[in-house]
Structure 1
């Protein structure tokens, strides 16, 4: 059964988003993934198990909260349109760029997940050896 799983995830940089999408897209049964960085939500549509989606998200190092699991919304029905006359469109010289399409540069100083450093502490050898 196809269902839509909505998760609340902090996506603060392009590198984190890329890791998250790669991890979730590897699951079997995922049909569609939608990321809204402004709201901090991740929507996964398909037959994938919501538990497995949460596990994969946590393996990437993200804190995740389940918002909802349910059937996907039905596509809106469009009424039949009458044929309209074609209007001449003015040429657009000024191209507006979408911030999601613009190239993203990874800045580890602004991403709290990327700032995490793993420190390994080893105990010093206290044993004495006399040769």
Structure 2
């Protein structure tokens, strides 16, 4: 039996959205995942257990909660992604890499 689960989670940047999408996609029995960054919701349609969905999302964002669970309805397929910051402060990680200028062969 397919059901529609709406999860409230903070989606601040594209990395946040990508991470949440990857976490939810690992659950078996999901047919559709729709992210809505303007409302900070993720809509999951499929046979997956809502408890498993919320547990996966809470591994990344502690403040995730289930808004509703019910039968799926046909929705319009308009996907509008508003302009958001490139990365949020939580996802912004800097790596320091040193340049090795002597990487060429020294045998010759």
Cα 1:105–1:99 change in 2 (3 A) is: farther
Structure with larger Rg:
1
Superposed counterparts of 1:55-66, under 5 Å: 55-66=55-66
Contact 2:34 2:42 in 1 (8 A): yes
Contact 1:30 1:46 in 2 (8 A): yes
Instruction: Please provide the CA RMSD for this pair.
Output: 2.8
2:68 alignment partner, SS class: strand
Contact 2:31 2:45 in 1 (8 A): yes
CA distance in 2, matches of 1:7, 1:17: 13
Query: TM-score when scaled to structure 2?
Result: 0.71
Q: Aligned pairs, how many?
A: 91
2:59 alignment partner, SS class: helix
Higher relative contact order (CA 8 A, sep 6+): 2
Q: State whether structure 2 residue 18 is matched by structure 1 residue 18.
A: yes
Which sections of structure 1, spanning at least 5 residues, go unmatched? 77-97, 116-131
Query: TM-score when scaled to structure 1?
Result: 0.60
